[in-house]
Structure 1
């Protein structure tokens, strides 16, 4: 297993936690770059690294700002997030407050998108990444954001600093390398979709003692659920006709006893190598961004801009893929249905959206990369997909 290049061991805006290195002798390998979710950093993807070379792939695990190895947010950035979250919470029904928060978060997320593109440019420049061969489904970069990390993907696509990144001799035209951007099992709120009735989450369950809620949440979010959505009609014209039965088909609370919740199977050492709770704790940067992004409508705006047809031909050639695990927590199944409705409504109105491909992983849960690492690696690399 290769170590990160020397210049990548130092803290950077985004930090490379682990890198499988290129498969020996390959000139057309695919580099999969993964960004983690909320509180669980990219150590949770560690099982993919030893599988990479067998699939002619290089796997690069990346930690976001405020997570181990990456640059902490500055006092000014933290103050901004705190002010946005506070204003949004104190005036939840105020259009003016939402608009103000949105105006402040837009440049903040543009900067996050720039950090992603600069990291990719550094990889291409320093590591001699093969160019994309889209027709052959080889080479290039596959960029993946899991769960809350999906916000970085929509920001990246929306703001598109992806075209020319880096500076001076390190400037790179990423359209020659970027093959695919993957939204990996995102919950509905990070794409700005409204919740269904009774949006259950153990963190807010008053019947659970406050001291026990974090543990209950860990089991719940990594459980296996059976949702009854197969017979639902995604083409119903009326929102009420489609949303009520879809919401009723979601299992919100009761996960299966077997397989057990993924996080209940991790050893303390495995948890220590992947969990970093402070950004997700009250007042943490992820917690503040989640609150402000939802209430201000910023996440919805990023979604709409990310799924709009790009003006740039090079960016239009980049595939956007949604990977959905159908036994995941209800929040991600609700995302899948909202995306279907969004594309169906656009067709009915003769509006164009960016084409999105999707892969449904039957029987998989939100932590598929831990329970079935080879399966998710194949899903990220495969060219066998369906389309919205």
Structure 2
């Protein structure tokens, strides 16, 4: 089981690696960092296609997920503290863990450095670079030779510092005090993966809508008895597949604490990452979001789209992009993917 130490306390990450394509010296390496509740195994269906596309895929399990070191009591206390400085310390430590992994992996695996811009480039990442300026200067310079792109893959609005939604705005089981931790961890995967029916006018108007307009335009309840193409993937998985992909215990143990971190901690990180472009000036940053339109239902003004929570998140995220992203970033830094799943 491959693991690597990512901090001075001996904490480790578990990861899976497809390896370098056979006899290739110019492949692209993509580091895949999972989201809440779903661990690195969720990317395994991509592995079989990597070599044919001259790619190397590396799926990392974050702390508290399978194979990686659980959080200590003191780390959980920092994350769950009402002290913003302690919260910021906890979030900063997670970012530095990712950067430590990158440095170790590049050096251990002798990843080929970036070629000139006119040729093939070979390093991309889905994750974070918020805390690069806290690395040793030689490490920052070293990573600059490998970092091609940062892909923000359908992020939740909390990552941009948006306030938690009230239950009246949009239901979120992680904010529902009537649920026990055990109930939350069981409800969350299906809630976040469901299909919802939304106002087409609202979808077309993103990202210009206000929070109130977003709330008014999307459905709160997932579609039931939907056709197979609008059935969440996790509902079609076997028990064995679900056990590999979903980590309910991590949702209840630690992820819920991330939901309650002060929004200023997240918004400060976003500003630092997206506006301080002097650290890795050649790094491309892309925000990807999904719009899975299906066939119209009873009302021609309403269409299927994938998960109400993420549509709401997308509007907030795009507005945050307008507020925080450098003015030099154009439309190519916002990628909408049609008929795709999160």
Q: Does residue 50 of structure 2 align to residue 37 of structure 1? A: no
- The verdict on how the C-alpha distance between 1:253 and 1:69 changes in structure 2, with shifts beyond 3 A counting, is same
Q: State the match for 2:59 in structure 1.
A: 61
Post-superposition CA distance 1:226-274 (Å, at most 9, x none): 4323432645xxxxx7443333222232236122111101100111112
Distance 1:323 1:9 in 2: 30
Q: State the match for 2:336 in structure 1.
A: 360
Gaps of 5+ in 1: 88-100, 146-152, 236-240, 367-388
Counterpart contact for 1:192–1:297, Cα < 8 Å: yes
Give the TM-score of the pair, scaled to structure 2. 0.80
Counterpart contact for 2:39–2:246, Cα < 8 Å: yes
Q: Does residue 204 of structure 2 align to residue 231 of structure 1? A: yes
- The verdict on how the C-alpha distance between 1:165 and 1:248 changes in structure 2, with shifts beyond 3 A counting, is farther
- The verdict on how the C-alpha distance between 1:102 and 1:113 changes in structure 2, with shifts beyond 3 A counting, is same
Distance 2:63 2:74 in 1: 14
Gaps of 5+ in 2: 292-304
Q: Does residue 246 of structure 2 align to residue 264 of structure 1? A: no
Counterpart contact for 2:114–2:146, Cα < 8 Å: yes
Q: State the match for 1:157 in structure 2.
A: 130
Give the TM-score of the pair, scaled to structure 1. 0.71
Counterpart contact for 1:307–1:354, Cα < 8 Å: no
Q: State the match for 2:290 in structure 1.
A: 325
- What is the root-mean-square deviation of aligned Cα atoms in Å? 3.4
2:274 pairs, out of 296, 301, 307, with 307
Q: CA deviation at 1:324?
A: 0.6
| Higher-strand-fraction structure | 2
Q: How many residues align?
A: 319
Counterpart contact for 1:9–1:16, Cα < 8 Å: no
SS at match of 2:218: coil
Q: State the match for 2:218 in structure 1.
A: 250
Q: Which deviates further from its counterpart, 63-72 or 262-271?
A: 63-72
Q: State the match for 2:298 in structure 1.
A: none
Runs of 4+ in 1 over 4 A off after TM superposition: 7-12, 161-166, 202-216, 343-347, 351-356
Q: Does residue 49 of structure 2 align to residue 51 of structure 1? A: yes
Distance 1:320 1:187 in 2: 16
Distance 2:192 2:270 in 1: 23
SS at match of 1:124: helix
Q: State the match for 2:302 in structure 1.
A: none
1:78 pairs, out of 76, 85, 89, with 76
Q: Does residue 313 of structure 2 align to residue 335 of structure 1? A: yes
Counterpart contact for 2:79–2:90, Cα < 8 Å: no
